[in-house]
């Protein structure tokens, strides 16, 4: 029995992850907002992207390498920012950062991660990206950028699709409060997952360590989230983008772009790449499928485009590239892998994606990502 025979697809990792983490953790990781129509739409519209298979092209081994922002990357995908990753597995951020460094792919640390930029500094590879939820206070903003830079992060990502908190009703129903409190109900959920509880007991419950410098000292784990909402609850505007552009020397990416009209103004403000995303349907339930937005934005700009939301395998990565993406990110899949199998899950997921990319490129006769055929609409 190999991992590939038991867990050949991301959906297998997802199923196992669900059985291994407490219900409130699962709902935090897996839920979207509203009736989750946007989350479903992401899948439906990806499935509608057709690619014509090719025949009689002879045998070849495809290369999965690609270029992004002037850098050659061995694989066309990386790891999206996920707040409080440590809830899914102890030291999740450390495991993900090390795996990304080994594989030479980008790892994005969230502002609201359970580890700080300093915690991760020893583990970062050259593709270390820092994702910023915009602090309202300019001193904190400046300090956060300086800390990210000193820790070794070279690429800055500003997330703009969280102008206000999302309701995420499924998460609320699970008993997870804002700020999180370990109520008897949550403790009962924890008791039902002893392996998870043991792991957390060994390392201590995760907290938003990167923000603790700016929050009052707290005595209880998880309570550091209490002030995070206030600190970060600001809706950035166009001037904020310009301010950040001036303040950060390296590549600067704006995440959460869905409207083609926003592409040129962002380019004019010096943004280096757009991250086309609907936050996996977690923020707004009437948003377009990210793949539809990608096609429109590609037609409107020559900026590099990063795509995420709902990637479930190598074929979805190829669909995004065929629609004009220059790179793809995955958020939940890496956390399903960790929750399902622990750290070996990350290497297994990388392998699933590589094998799936190679198999589908073989069907398409595409030796490189640049050779993918144009997409067409399936009924
Ligand atoms: C549990 C969870 C937490 C997230 N936290 C953040 C975050 O802190 N910052 C951010 O920019 N995006 C965050 N995202 C969104 C991801 O970066 C990414 O856009 C999305 O998960 C991609 O879709 P996928 O999970 O289907 O791959 C989060 C997503 C999930 C599932």
Going from N- to C-terminal start, the domains of the chain cover 3-377
Q: How confident is the model at residue 255 (pLDDT cuts 50, 70, 90)?
A: very high
Q: Whose CA is nearest to atom 21 of ligand 1?
A: 331
Query: Does residue 225's CB lie within 6 angstroms of at least one atom of ligand 1?
Result: no
What pLDDT, on the 0 to 100 scale, is given for residue 286? 98
Cβ(45)–Cβ(312) below 8 Å: no
- Least confident range of 80-89, 179-188, 250-259, 325-334: 179-188
Count of other CB atoms within 10 angstroms of residue 164: 9
Query: Does residue 28's CB lie within 6 angstroms of at least one atom of ligand 1?
Result: yes
Assigned CATH topology for domain 3-377: TIM Barrel (3.20.20)
Give the Cα separation of 355 and 172 in Å (integer).
37
pLDDT at 222 over 60: no
Query: Does residue 84's CB lie within 6 angstroms of at least one atom of ligand 1?
Result: no
Atom of ligand 1 nearest to the CA of 330: 27
Q: Tokens 């939301």 identify what position? A: 309
pLDDT in tens, 355-377: 999 999 999 999 999 999 999 99
Query: Does residue 83's CB lie within 6 angstroms of at least one atom of ligand 1?
Result: yes
CA of 330 to the centre of ligand 1 (A): 8
Give the Cα separation of 358 and 356 in Å (integer).
5
Share of the chain above pLDDT 70, in %: 96
What does 132-179 look like in DSSP terms, one character per residue?
Answer: E---SSHHHHHHHHHHHHHHT--EEEEE-S-SS----HHHHHTT--SS
Query: Does residue 280's CB lie within 6 angstroms of at least one atom of ligand 1?
Result: yes
Cβ(242)–Cβ(266) below 8 Å: no
For residues 264-275, give the mean pLDDT.
98
Q: Whose CA is nearest to atom 11 of ligand 1?
A: 159
Evaluate if pTM is beyond 0.85. yes
If you compute the radius of gyration of the chain from its CA atoms, what whole number of angstroms results? 20
Q: Which one is predicted more confidently, 127 or 223?
A: 127
Query: Does residue 180's CB lie within 6 angstroms of at least one atom of ligand 1?
Result: no
What pLDDT, on the 0 to 100 scale, is given for residue 166? 87
Bond from prior residue into 179 cis (ω within 30 degrees of 0):
yes
Catalytic choice (95, 123, 279, 348): 279
What pLDDT, on the 0 to 100 scale, is given for residue 190? 94
What is the overall mean pLDDT for the chain? Answer: 94
Instruction: State which of 11, 208, 253, 282 you would mutate to test the pocket of ligand 1, scoring each by most atoms of that ligand within 8 A of its C-beta.
Output: 282
Query: Does residue 309's CB lie within 6 angstroms of at least one atom of ligand 1?
Result: yes
CA of 84 to the centre of ligand 1 (A): 10
pLDDT at 295 over 90: yes
Give the Cα separation of 372 and 60 in Å (integer).
15
- Residue 360 DSSP SS3: helix
Q: How confident is the model at residue 215 (pLDDT cuts 50, 70, 90)?
A: confident
CA of 107 to the centre of ligand 1 (A): 13
CA of 199 to the centre of ligand 1 (A): 23
What pLDDT, on the 0 to 100 scale, is given for residue 339? 98
Q: Whose CA is nearest to atom 22 of ligand 1?
A: 309
What pLDDT, on the 0 to 100 scale, is given for residue 136? 86
For residues 105-126, give the mean pLDDT.
97
Cβ(256)–Cβ(275) below 8 Å: yes
What pLDDT, on the 0 to 100 scale, is given for residue 111? 96
pLDDT in tens, 18-77: 999 999 999 999 999 999 999 999 999 999 999 999 999 999 999 999 999 999 999 999
What pLDDT, on the 0 to 100 scale, is given for residue 226? 54
Among residues 229, 286, 236, 277, the alpha carbon closest in space to that of 33 is found at 286
Q: Whose CA is nearest to atom 30 of ligand 1?
A: 82
Give the Cα separation of 129 and 215 in Å (integer).
23
Phi, psi of 266 (to 5 degrees): -70, -40
CA of 124 to the centre of ligand 1 (A): 20
Q: Where does the chain have alpha helices with state H?
A: 3-6, 10-20, 23-30, 37-47, 92-103, 117-120, 138-151, 169-173, 184-191, 194-203, 225-232, 238-247, 263-268, 290-300, 314-322, 332-341, 344-364
Atom of ligand 1 nearest to the CA of 84: 3
Active site residue 279: yes
Tokens of 46: 């990806």
What pLDDT, on the 0 to 100 scale, is given for residue 165? 85
Q: Which one is predicted more confidently, 168 or 107?
A: 107
pLDDT in tens, 311-342: 999 999 999 999 999 999 999 999 999 999 99
For residues 157-166, give the mean pLDDT.
93
């Amino acid at each position: 029995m190999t991992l590939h025979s038991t867990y050949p697809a991301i959906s297998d990792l997802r199923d196992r992850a669900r059985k291994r983490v407490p219900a409130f953790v699962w709902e935090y990781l897996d839920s979207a907002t509203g009736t989750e129509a946007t989350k479903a739409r992401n899948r439906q519209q990806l499935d509608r992207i057709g690619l014509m298979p090719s025949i009689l092209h002879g045998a070849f081994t495809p290369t999965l390498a690609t270029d992004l922002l002037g850098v050659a990357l061995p694989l066309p995908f990386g790891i999206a920012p996920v707040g409080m990753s440590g809830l899914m597995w102890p030291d999740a951020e450390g495991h993900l950062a090390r795996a990304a460094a080994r594989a030479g792919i980008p790892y994005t640390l969230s502002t609201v991660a359970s580890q700080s930029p300093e915690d991760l500094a020893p583990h970062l590879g050259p593709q270390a990206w820092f994702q910023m939820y915009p602090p309202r206070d300019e001193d904190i903003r400046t300090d956060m950028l300086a800390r990210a830079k000193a820790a070794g992060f070279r690429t800055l990502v500003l997330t703009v699709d969280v102008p206000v908190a999302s309701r995420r009703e499924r998460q609320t129903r699970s008993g997870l409060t804002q700020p999180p409190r370990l109520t008897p109900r949550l403790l009962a959920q924890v008791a039902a997952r002893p392996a998870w509880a043991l792991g957390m007991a060994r390392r201590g419950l995760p907290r938003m360590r990167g923000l603790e410098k700016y929050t009052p000292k707290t005595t209880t784990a998880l309570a550091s989230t209490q002030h995070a909402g206030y600190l970060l609850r600001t809706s950035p505007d166009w001037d904020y983008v310009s301010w950040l552009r001036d303040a950060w020397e390296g590549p600067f990416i704006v995440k959460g772009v869905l409207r083609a009209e926003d592409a040129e103004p962002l380019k004019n403000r010096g943004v280096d790449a757009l991250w086309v995303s609907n936050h996996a349907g977690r923020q707004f339930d009437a948003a377009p499928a990210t793949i539809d937005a990608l096609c429109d934005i590609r037609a409107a700009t020559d900026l590099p485009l990063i795509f995420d939301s709902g990637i479930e395998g190598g074929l979805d990565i190829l669909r995004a590239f065929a629609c004009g993406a220059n790179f793809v990110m995955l958020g939940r899949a890496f956390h399903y892998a960790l929750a399902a199998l622990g750290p070996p899950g990350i290497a297994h997921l990388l392998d699933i994606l590589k094998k799936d990319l190679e198999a589908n490129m073989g069907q398409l006769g595409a030796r490189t990502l640049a050779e993918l055929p144009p997409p067409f609409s399936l009924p």
